[in-house]
Amino acid sequence: MPRARFTLRAAPGDPVASRRILDAGRRPPRRREAERVGANRKGINAVEQKEDKELVQVLMTRAKLNQFHQEKLSRDALYNAHAAQKQVARANMLSAKTLLKAVGVEEAVKLTEETSYEFNYMMGRKRAEALGNPKDLDSMLYAYIGELLDAIPWVPNAEFIERSEKKIVWGNTKCMYADYINEWRAEVPEFLTDDVYKVMCARCSHDHGWANGFNPDIEFKRVQFKLDGDKGCFFEMTAH
């Protein structure tokens, strides 16, 4: 199973590099013998093992983050992540264009945001229920970033700007979806118009939806958006 990495930026020259930056990753699991449940004919005891998870603190450079992302992409030899993500962007471009033939751009943006939010709210709710509806930030951290996003090859490792018991500021400066939207925009500007671009951007309500579904008591805000021209996509999660 791939290890989950939760990493803060500490690249030379970065304005936040002077801060103490934490990496909330997983140590290799400590396995312990829980109960002897029997033996086979050769007399070898079978044991039930339990995996303990812990948060650890390390410093990590941007170069190391990029290395981890390349390793993650290399695990996707069968279904190339770059080709797949370009086709995801293409499909979203076509569906946005189709929707705009039926309604105006404001309605298209509204419908797209609502649909993406509703689906991901449902998925966040289902995951929370499966975990017993935990209320702490760490549980959301593991469930969304460690389990869900880390399993998607084109999603880079999360970078943490701030992390405490009550508040997490996280995100990343790399986004393959944004890269391929802009690549398609350069290739077919007559098709991927400004209105199509706005509708494609509206799909990015998924983080907000999943977080609210998992725990509606946690305030979730997007504070930077790469497709708006910011350096990346960053989010604040605050527990009250």
pLDDT confidence of residue 79: 55
Q: Who has greater pLDDT, 60 or 169?
A: 169
Stretch 76-93: mean pLDDT: 80
Which amino acid would we find at residue 138?
Answer: D
Q: Which pLDDT score is estimated for 222?
A: 94
Domain range 6-34+49-239, CATH class: alpha beta
Confidence class for position 198, pLDDT limits 50, 70, 90? very high
Radius of gyration of the chain (CA): 21
Tell me the three state secondary structure of residue 238.
strand
Q: What integer best gives the mean pLDDT of the chain?
A: 78
Report helix, strand or coil for 161: strand
Task: Report pLDDT for 54.
Answer: 60
Specify the residue for token string 């981890």. 68
Total residues belonging to the chain: 240
Q: Which two structure tokens, joined as six digits, stand for 121?
A: 């709210």
Q: Where are the domains of the chain?
A: 6-34+49-239
Q: Is residue 30 over pLDDT 50? A: no
Find where tokens 């030379």 sit: 12
Helix (H, G, I), strand (E, B), or coil: what is residue 88? helix
Of the listed ranges 77-86, 118-127, 226-235, the one predicted with least confidence: 77-86
For 118-151, the pLDDT digits (tens) are 999 999 999 999 999 999 888 998 899 888 887 7
Better pLDDT: 49 or 234: 234
